[in-house]
Structure formats: C-alpha cells, structure tokens
C-alpha cells in the first residue's frame, strides 16, 4: 500500500532522516516507535511532502510514485496526515475545519455535493462534532480537538492515514478512546502509519512495528517479533548495535 | 458634514491600502510593503488609459486591473518566491520594501516626476448629501471601497478559497497538510490585490493625481489603518481606513492644516499602547 524507501532528508543542512525504509500493508497499522528526536515526526513530514529538504528516497502509494510531489498533490493521491499537537484551525468553527479537510474533494463551492456527503459521514462517525459544529475549534477539549483532526484528515477519503502522536497531551481515558478509534479505522480497511510515544498502547493495536533511532530504522517487522519487548527496551533504555541487528526481523 | 465626506473619501483610499495588505497577508503570510505602490501604479495606468490612449472607462479599468495584476505577480515571483522555504522569516519585509523603492523609481522614469491629472469619470458637479457636499467620484470611491471590503470579508468566510486563505493565515503547514496549494494561494492573493488596486486607479487618481511618490504617504496611512482595524481582518482594515481618514479630515478642519498627520500618528500610538492587535484583529503571530 504505502512504501517508503531510502528516505534521507532534514531541515537545511541538518540531516534528520538517514535512508529510512518503512511500509504499511493494506488495512494494517504500522507503528513507528522511538525516543524523542529519533526522527519519527520528520519521517511523516517527509512522506507528506512537508519536510523542507529531502535528498534521496522514494515514496510510493499503491504503486504510484509520489516522490517530489508537493503536499497538496500527495493528499489528492490518497495520503492524509494528522499532525502532532492537534493542528486544527483554532479560529475556525468545527464545521469549517471539516470543510477545509475536504478541500481536495472535487466540486465547486464550499458545500459541493462531495463535501456535503463527506461532512455527513464525519458527523455520523463523530456525533460530538455535529453537536459542536458551530463552535470555534479552539474551544474544544484536547480529546475533541484530536477527534476533529482525525475527522478532518478522513474527509477526502484517504487510502493511508498517518497519525503523529495522537495521544500526546491527552488524559489516559481519552488516549484509550482515540487509539480505539484508530483500531476501528483499521478494521474498516484503512491503512495507518502511526507514530506514538506510548509504546504499550501502540503495540496493542499495531500489526507491524518500525523502531527508529538517530534518524534510522533500527528494527522493523511484524509485531509478534517484538512481543518480548527486548528490542524496544534496548532502544528506549540504551542499546548495543549488535543486539539490535539480531532483533531485526 | 462636508468634512465627514472628505474624511471618508480620503479614508477610502487608506482602506484600499489596508485591504490590499490584508488580502496578501491572509493568504501568504507576507506583509507586502509595496502594496501602496501598486495603487500608485493603478493611478498611472488609469492616466495612460484615459488620457494617453483615450480609452473609454471599461477598457481603462481592464488595463489597470490587468497591468497592476501583472506587476504584483512579478513582485511575488522576484521578491517573495525565492524566499519561500527559507528559515529567515523576515526576508520578505526587506524585499517588499525593495520592490516599493523600485516601483517608485520606475514610475518616475516612465511617467515623470510631475503630478498628472487623472480625469474624473463622473460629473464634477458636487452633490449635496446629508447636509454636506461631495463630488460624485468621491462618493463612488467610498461606496465601491465599502462594497469591496465587505465583499472580501463575506467571501473569506463563505467560500472554499476564502476559508482556505484564513486557514493558511492561521497555520500554513497545517493548511498544506489539508491539501491546500498554499503557494498558488499566495500567488493568487498577489494577483487579486494587484487587480483590485488597478481597478481603483481611476477613482483614486481622480482624488490624488498620479504621482510617483504617492505610495509613500499611502503606505504610512494604510499601515495606521491596519493598526487601528487589526491585521488579518478585512472589516477591521476597512473601518480602520475610514477612521484614519476621518481623524485626518477633522484634525485639518478643527486643529489646523499643519496638524492632521501628528494627530493621526497620536491615535496610532494610542491604539498600539491600548490594543496592539487593533480593534478587530486576529492574532497573527510571527515566529522570530
């Protein structure tokens, strides 16, 4: 479904990604784990076309080469990104945020039939958003903003959803709700690339795992290869390169 | 009441500058210091169309709109586009001032340094309205400026592109992540702002003359209008412009012809102290 190979890039002269390979199978969740500063957010930015400087590598979606395309064309091709820190448009209402999420959908006018249908679908999936549709997004709680951000990203009907730390800054009970929603989306057939700090919760819903360290993929493979937690513990608590290589599946 | 009409007519021009600043600021995050120069170019193209070429009103308006839109597009390509993606957020502040200086110089070279009279497209006979007198061309300027400002305000809230522009102003990267082509939006904003400045060249020129350094004073008062109304708010810019014009006219009438600028800048400082975001401004923060 989504295949990223040999991505190298960063910000100006600062290289934060080094030949990163990661893939997402159709209807599966790939969880990208790693310490702060490992390059996880930069990886999602690079896939979405938002990283300022990408030196090498290839991004393919369903066999279509997206490398070099600007962000808006990647969204039209079927990628969607929910950025870290619930990046909704705070000054705009919930409904305006959703309509903006459907920007890539066809049709003239703010409320084209395609956008209206997607809006209705979003309200069915997230009834709370219908209740708060006229409220400024900035007035929602953190959990509600995260749901809005996910609903916004789903508006164009993406093939692959990328989520950057969807649990960040949320109360534990809300984290459970958000990750349950992510698992539900996967069960409905969506392919998901999930970057997450909360390792245990991420592993609960993930099908595949990629562990990043210093801008590289240190280990990757199906989740059952990580079940004993040894490799991940090494990544978070200190490691030897040799141990990691053996952990690589 | 005549003072009110005079203030509103002058204020309409300041509002137009503020509207132009806001159109570009909202969509591209750039403060285009050269916008007043685009309005100046509009007055010269109006002169060229109406006097040099002897064109009727409609073709003159089209010449102004198309001509200034092209100038704005060139400005965006040369002074803004090369800076996109660079970490230095302040580059455009310098390059748009540079563009303003170049436009001043080009206007002086092409049309000379003497003020040129742009003919009024409406009868010169003043109208008596609400107890004051006003020239029809000034009344048209006031009405059309109001229409443009309110129209842009409504457009920005009820159209997909308008909302995209507001979203881009709030968070450019998040807007790009939603599939909005933020580069094209920015370019489009320059072209739109240029076209509006060009269309108004005929009405503005009839009040100010076409003169190469018109941009200097307009830029300053347009900036005051933005400070009063708040950056990023089309209605705020509109009201700020009219308020600046009224303060100017009343200060000239009741305090003395030498004082209006001092009074206007006094009000400007007061607003900055009491309400730095202006009366209607959203917080458009700049990362330093």
Residue B107 confidence (pLDDT) above 70:
yes
Last residue in a domain, options A157, A183, A217: A157
The model's confidence at residue A244, banded by pLDDT at 50, 70 and 90, is: very low
Instruction: Map B229-273 to HEC letters.
Output: HCCCCHHHHHHHHHHHHHHHHHHHHHCCCCCHHHHHHHHHHHHHH
pLDDT of residue A106: 76
Choose among A76, A92, A104: nearest Cβ to B166. Answer: A92
| Mutation site, B158, B167, B179, interface A, largest A CB count within 10 A | B179
To the nearest whole angstrom, how far is the Cα of B177 from the nearest Cα of chain A?
A: 6
Last residue in a domain, options A134, A157, A180: A157
To the nearest whole angstrom, how far is the Cα of A203 from the nearest Cα of chain B?
A: 26
Kindly report, residue by residue over B155-185, the tens digit of the pLDDT: 999 999 999 999 988 888 899 999 999 989 9
Residues A136 and A190 in one domain: no
Is the CA virtual torsion B25, B28, B29, B32 positive or negative? negative
**Which of the listed ranges A216-230, B11-25, B77-91, B221-235 does the model predict with the highest average pLDDT?**
B11-25
E-strand stretches of B99-138 = 127-129, 132-134
pLDDT of residue A228: 67
pLDDT of residue B285: 46
Choose among A52, A96, A110: nearest Cβ to B85. Answer: A52
Last residue in a domain, options A157, A180, A208: A157
Residues A62 and A166 in one domain: yes
Residue B44 confidence (pLDDT) above 70:
yes
Which range of residues forms the domain containing residue A141?
A: 85-157
Question: Hey, which residues does A65 pair with through a beta bridge?
Answer: A60
* Record: contact B173-A103, CB cut-off 8 A: no
Residues A74 and A169 in one domain: yes
Strands A216-222 and A191-195 turn out to be: unpaired
Residues A248 and A217 in one domain: yes
- Give contacts of A 167-186 with B, CB under 8 A: none
Residue A87 confidence (pLDDT) above 80:
yes
Arithmetic mean of pLDDT, B228-252: 88
Residue A113 confidence (pLDDT) above 60:
yes
Residue B288 confidence (pLDDT) above 60:
no
Cα B50 to Cα B245: distance, rounded to the nearest angstrom: 27
The model's confidence at residue A95, banded by pLDDT at 50, 70 and 90, is: very high
To the nearest whole angstrom, how far is the Cα of A229 from the nearest Cα of chain B?
A: 34
* Record: contact A100-B171, CB cut-off 8 A: no
Instruction: Provide the angle, in degrees to the nearest 10, between the axes of the packed helices A172-187 and A142-154.
Output: 20
Neighbours of B256 (CB within 10 A): 11
User: CATH number for the domain including A39?
Assistant: 3.40.50.300
Instruction: Provide the angle, in degrees to the nearest 10, between the axes of the packed helices A113-125 and A94-101.
Output: 120
Residue B12 confidence (pLDDT) above 90:
yes
pLDDT of residue A72: 93
Single out the residue of B91, B193, B204 nearest to residue B144, CA to CA: B204
Residues A114 and A18 in one domain: no
The model's confidence at residue A242, banded by pLDDT at 50, 70 and 90, is: very low
The model's confidence at residue A101, banded by pLDDT at 50, 70 and 90, is: very high
B1 or A143: whose pLDDT is higher? Answer: A143
Arithmetic mean of pLDDT, B260-283: 79
Number of structural domains in chain A: 2
Arithmetic mean of pLDDT, B113-141: 88
Residues A68 and A89 in one domain: no
Residues A66 and A176 in one domain: yes
Residues A214 and A243 in one domain: yes
* Record: contact A99-B178, CB cut-off 8 A: no
Arithmetic mean of pLDDT, A174-190: 92
pLDDT of residue B88: 59
Average pLDDT, chain B: 88
pLDDT of residue B86: 63
pLDDT of residue B110: 94
Residues A29 and A42 in one domain: yes
Residue B251 confidence (pLDDT) above 90:
no
The model's confidence at residue A248, banded by pLDDT at 50, 70 and 90, is: very low
Residues A101 and A151 in one domain: yes
| Mutation site, A12, A89, A90, A105, interface B, largest B CB count within 10 A | A89
pLDDT of residue A171: 86
Residues A61 and A181 in one domain: yes
């Amino acid at each position: 479904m989504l295949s990223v190979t040999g991505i190298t890039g960063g910000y100006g002269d600062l290289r934060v990604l080094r030949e990163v390979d990661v893939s997402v199978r159709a209807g599966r969740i790939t969880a990208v784990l790693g310490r702060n500063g490992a390059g996880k957010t930069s990886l999602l930015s690079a896939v979405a076309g938002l990283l300022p400087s990408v030196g090498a590598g290839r991004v393919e979606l369903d066999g279509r080469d997206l490398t070099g395309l600007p962000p808006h064309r990647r969204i039209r091709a079927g990628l969607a990104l929910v950025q870290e820190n619930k990046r909704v448009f705070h000054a705009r209402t919930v409904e305006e945020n959703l309509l903006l999420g459907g920007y890539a959908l066809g049709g003239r006018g703010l409320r084209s039939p395609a956008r209206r249908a997607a809006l209705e679908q979003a309200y069915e999936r997230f009834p709370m958003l219908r209740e708060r549709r006229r409220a400024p997004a900035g007035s929602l709680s953190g959990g509600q903003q995260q749901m809005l951000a996910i609903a916004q990203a789903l508006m164009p009907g993406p093939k692959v959803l990328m989520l950057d730390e969807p649990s960040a800054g949320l109360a534990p009970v809300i984290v459970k709700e958000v990750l349950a929603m992510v698992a539900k989306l996967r069960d409905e057939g969506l392919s998901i690339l999930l970057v997450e700090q909360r390792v245990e919760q991420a592993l609960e819903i993930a099908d595949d795992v990629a562990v990043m360290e210093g801008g590289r993929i240190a280990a990757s493979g199906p989740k059952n290869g990580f079940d004993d937690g040894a490799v991940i513990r090494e990544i978070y608590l200190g490691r030897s390169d040799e141990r990691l290589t053996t952990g690589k599946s | 009441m005549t003072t009110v009409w005079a203030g509103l007519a002058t204020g309409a021009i300041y509002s137009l500058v503020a509207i132009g600043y806001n159109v570009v600021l909202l969509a591209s995050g750039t403060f285009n210091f050269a916008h007043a120069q685009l309005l100046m170019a509009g007055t010269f193209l109006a002169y060229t169309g109406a006097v040099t070429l002897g064109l009727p009103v409609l073709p003159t308006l089209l010449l102004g709109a198309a001509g200034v839109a092209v100038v704005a597009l060139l400005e965006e390509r040369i002074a803004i586009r090369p800076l996109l993606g660079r970490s230095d957020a302040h580059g455009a502040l310098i390059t748009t001032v540079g563009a303003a200086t170049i436009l001043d110089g080009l206007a002086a070279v092409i049309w000379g340094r003497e003020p040129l009279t742009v003919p009024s497209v409406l009868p010169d006979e003043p109208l008596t309205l609400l107890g004051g007198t006003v020239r029809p061309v000034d009344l048209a300027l006031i009405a059309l400026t109001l229409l443009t400002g309110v129209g842009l305000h409504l457009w920005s809230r009820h159209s997909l592109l308008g909302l995209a522009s507001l979203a881009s102003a709030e968070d450019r990267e998040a807007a790009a992540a939603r599939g909005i082509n933020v580069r094209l939006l920015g370019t489009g904003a320059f072209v739109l702002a240029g076209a509006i400045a060009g269309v108004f060249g005929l009405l503005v020129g009839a009040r100010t003359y076409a003169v190469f350094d018109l941009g200097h004073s307009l830029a300053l008062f347009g900036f005051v209008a933005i400070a009063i109304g708040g950056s990023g708010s089309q209605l705020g810019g509109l009201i700020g412009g009219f308020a600046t014009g009224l303060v100017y006219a009343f200060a000239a009438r009741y305090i003395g012809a030498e004082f209006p600028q001092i009074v206007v800048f006094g009000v400007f400082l007061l607003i900055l102290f009491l309400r730095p975001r202006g009366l209607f401004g959203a917080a458009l923060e700049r990362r330093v």
